[in-house]
Amino acid sequence: VLCAVFGCNNDSRKSESVSYFKIGSRRNEIQKKWIVFLKRKNYILTKHSSICSEHFTDDSFVRDLQAELLKLTRPRKLREDAVPSIY
């Protein structure tokens, strides 16, 4: 999976510490904000279009207290209203 954000070179084949979130799986108004964030003219959304976790602030993720307390490594989950904000 490649990050769709203009200028981002993150690739799931190169880094296991980065998570990817599909753009098409978001509510319509949130999806529009994600697409604007890409900074790509005439971008064609596909079922694979994703944004990597490096573009989200820590408060964009659901807190997993069990994983924190037990020092477990689990994939992070985005809040439903999360919008990328870090370039």
Residue 72 makes CB contacts below 8 A (sequence gap 6+) with 64, 66
Give pLDDT tens digits for 2-58. 999 999 999 999 988 899 999 987 889 999 999 999 999 999 999 999 999 999 999
Q: Does 63 score more than 90 pLDDT?
A: yes
Global pTM reads 0.88
Q: How far is CA 4 from CA 50, 80, 83, in A?
A: 6, 19, 14
Q: Identify the CA nearest to 57 among candidates 79, 30, 17, 85.
A: 85
